[in-house]
Amino acid sequence: MKALQLTLVAPLLAVSLLLVATTSQAGALPDYYPKTFDTIGTLDGLDISSRSLTIDDRSKRLDPNIKVHTQSSQFSSLDVLRPGMTVGISLSGKTITGIWVLPKDYKPAISR
């Protein structure tokens, strides 16, 4: 009976550890994401014709060579952006040069 218990416990333990490891990695951002962003906020709107993006009710201009990054693609386009998305941006002055789509519940790490 003890042999049967051990043969059942070992695989269950292995599966449990695998699930915990996978869950903790699910929140990790891809390596091509920066450690910090100039601004993080909710995308309110995008106007391609005027080359502007509104985040948290603040409008910013888009660089003509804007780079968009998602968790599944290192290089994407403005077409993937939708209102309500959480995004991180990089700025050069008042112009957005990079956009990273973040998980909805993203919380930046607090540096000490």
Domain boundaries, the chain: 39-102
CATH assignment of 39-102?
A: 2.40.50.320
Q: What's the pLDDT at 1?
A: 56
Query: Beta strands 86-92 and 58-69: pairing type?
Result: unpaired
Which stretches of the chain drop beneath a pLDDT of 70?
1-27, 110-112
Distance CA 69, CA 66 (A): 10
Q: What's the pLDDT at 33?
A: 97
Strands (E), the chain: 39-47, 52-55, 58-69, 86-92, 95-102
Distance CA 40, CA 86 (A): 7
- Give ∠ CA 87-89-94 in degrees, rounded to 5: 135
Query: Could you give the 3-state DSSP secondary structure of residue 12?
Result: helix
Tokens of 37: 């962003």
Residue found by looking up tokens 């991180």 in the block:
88
Which of 102, 40, 92 minimizes the C-alpha distance to 63? Answer: 92
